[in-house]
Chains A and B, each alone.
Chain A
Amino acid sequence: MELLTVNNVWMMICTALVFFMHLGFSFLEIGLTRQKNTINVLFKNVFIITVGLLLYCFVGFNLMYPGEFNGFFGFAGFGLDTPLTAEGALDLTYNEGYTYWTDFLFQGMFAATAATIVSGAVAERVKIVPFMIFAVIYVGIVYPIAGSWKWGGGFLDAMETPFYDFAGSTLVHSVGGWAAVVFVCLLGPRIGKFKEGKPQAIPGHNIPIATAGVLILWLGWFGFNGGSILSADPGLTSLTLVTTCLAAAAGGVVAMITSAIKDKKLDLTMFLNGILGGLVGITAGADQMNPTEALIIGAISGVIVVLAVTFIDRVKLDDPVGAIAVHLVCGIWGTLSVGIFGNLAGMDQFIGQLIGVASYAVYCIITSFIIIYALKKTVGIRVSEIEELEGLDAHEHGMGAYPDFRMNDH
């Protein structure tokens, strides 16, 4: 009983930390975009966390954890299904690590993250209502089904060498990342991003806010990974925090060095993306690595993220915040790294990881393509040229983020 109390307190703290990540995502996206779209960015992020949580309560939780099911799709009914004792009190034998309520809320905070990742990639040109429709379907249905395949005990968990994804390099970050790729392809680049085929810089308007966002995300990751132990197990939770933080630090430092060598300037935004790349990279195996392995995984993420940002520019995908490089590319790397480093390393595990990555790629690309293509052909997904040039804040929202500040028109 006392153990449950301790475990449950830790899990609730982690729940709050994961909630706080939504502020981090918001700040990062604001900072790396232009001030004329700030309200729009905030609106999307606030929409996702509020509606995401409601959806997770109505359908998501029972889609993701349906109990016994066929491994691909199961649904345990609408709403929450609180386990009660004969006397009508909350059944505390539900799990040794947390209560039913904590379980729901912790997983609910995760759920909205997948759509938030997409938000950053499509910023500054996406029509808000179609984006909201997409987010509802993606967070409400696509993400929980994806989660059930592994965390809900589905077919990827039932393989001979089960696919392993500790806290969601694939289940959360790549699921968001694949949709981001599809959305960006169907949406097209911002006006002015490519000139005669060459990528142009569209500098973000508030780098201090972006920095705050990344450091807040790092803090949130203490809960994202630390809570994914699903108890307050002293050895495992502290190991997970160490691997998480070492990977973040290594990712940042290596990305800084890589971008300095490549571009001959010390680019803070790449430094920040490197931290996030390291965090996403370690997330799949944060409880399976020793500190040295975590450091290597983070460092490799740091190199990957810098090269991926440039590569994504080169193939003419416009991703203002680097969401695809951070969440998809480093998510895939992190997932595969479980087969290369740590306690589970081995050929069978590596193949299991490949099967997992491929399954989610196919599923997410197909589902997000259907949703976004249908929206494109019906209501349209892109704002008009004049709205994009004058800013989404003025047109979609009728307000400015900084009405007392001097406005710049780039």
Chain B
Amino acid sequence: MKKIEAIIRKSKYRVVKDALHAVGVNFFSYWDVTGLGNEKEGHVYRGVAYSTSDIQRRHLSIVVNDDFAEATIKAILSSAGTGEVGDGKIFVSDIQECYRIRTAEKGGDTLK
């Protein structure tokens, strides 16, 4: 099993979600995050111009069986990009165990 974490633009969330559904990834968790990056956003407040490198993104956490991993990653890569700096990152890691709480079942079948 793999955990695929993707940090993407909030504005790309909808297309990424559709792309994941299209390859059969139907459940995952996400949350909004603030991070620091190379990109700077310019603002003005009451006559004071300032820029911030605090950037709002959406963090997706997807756990899939090994045979789904590549398709999942491709789905994100093909849907989340704009070509500009700040499109985000994908991190892949191994998952050792996995349980379904309702039935106490263990293993990859719980992800189906």
Contact = CB atoms under 8 A, between A and B. Distances in A.
B47 A309 contact: yes
A269 B48 contact: no
Interface in A299-329: 306, 309-310, 313, 322
B47 A263 contact: yes
Q: Is the interface of B mostly helix, strand, loop or mixed?
A: strand
Nearest to A262: B47
Interface residues of A, number: 19
Interface in A184-233: 199-203
B47 A310 contact: yes
Contacts of A306: 47
B49 A263 contact: yes
A267 B50 contact: no
A310 B45 CA distance: 11
Contacts of A322: 46
Nearest to B52: A201
A372 B45 CA distance: 30
A259 interface: yes
Contacts of A203: 43, 45
Contacts of A270: 46-47
B36 interface: no
A265 interface: yes
Interface of A: 199-203, 259, 262-265, 267, 269-270, 273, 306, 309-310, 313, 322
19 contacts: A199-B48, A201-B43, A201-B44, A201-B45, A201-B46, A202-B45, A203-B45, A262-B47, A263-B47, A265-B43, A265-B49, A267-B47, A269-B46, A270-B46, A270-B47, A306-B47, A309-B46, A309-B47, A313-B47
Given A201-B50, A265-B49, A313-B47, 9 more contacts: A203-B43, A262-B47, A263-B49, A264-B44, A265-B44, A267-B46, A309-B47, A313-B48, A322-B46
Which 3 pairs, one residue from A and one from B, show the smallest C-beta to C-beta distance?
Answer: A201-B45, A265-B44, A201-B48
